[in-house]
Amino acid sequence: MLNIENKTTLEINQKHLETIANSLTTREIDLTICYNPTIQQYNLKYRGKNSPTDVLSFPLSSDLVNSKFEHIPLGSIVISADYIIDSSETLGHELDDELSLLFIHGLLHLLGYDHEIDSGDMRAKEEALIQKFNLPNSLIVRTEKS
């Protein structure tokens, strides 16, 4: 189940995000869409970085990521609407596509993937989902190119 708290004026295609989530897990996920000042506060509080960011993931517990207990929530994802808007304008694709890319990225982190330390596992999974849902380049690919 996907619970969305949209603190912005962006229109969210909840059904599409639910389809993405359900392709990876049946566990409950909370998604918050907010503006940069809010995500900057979270980034400072939880990561010690006093700047906005595109997406943050908060697993309920790393011990429970692979839990067989479907009723235990997976965690929360926070996405910046400002990043969605800026990236979609800069890269020339739809807002829904950018939101989907960031959601996939955050969801994979909730599921225990970490592109900073794995051997390309997260990138491969992200690429498979991008193809499945017909999305533009992933966050990891864009970061590697810059």
Q: How do residues 106-143 score in pLDDT, each as one tens digit?
A: 999 999 887 776 777 888 899 999 999 999 876 556 55
For residue 31, what are the β-bridge partners? 4, 77
Question: What pLDDT score does 73 carry?
Answer: 84
pLDDT tens digits, one per residue of 53-104: 999 999 986 555 555 656 678 999 999 999 999 999 988 889 999 999 999 9
- pTM for the whole structure: 0.88
pLDDT of residue 92: 87
For residue 126, what are its two tokens? 């992200």
Is CATH 3.60.110.10 correct for 2-145?
no
Give per-residue pLDDT as tens, 9-64: 999 999 999 999 999 998 899 999 999 999 999 999 999 999 999 999 999 865 55
What is the structure's pLDDT at 121? 85
The reported pLDDT for the residue numbered 54 is 96
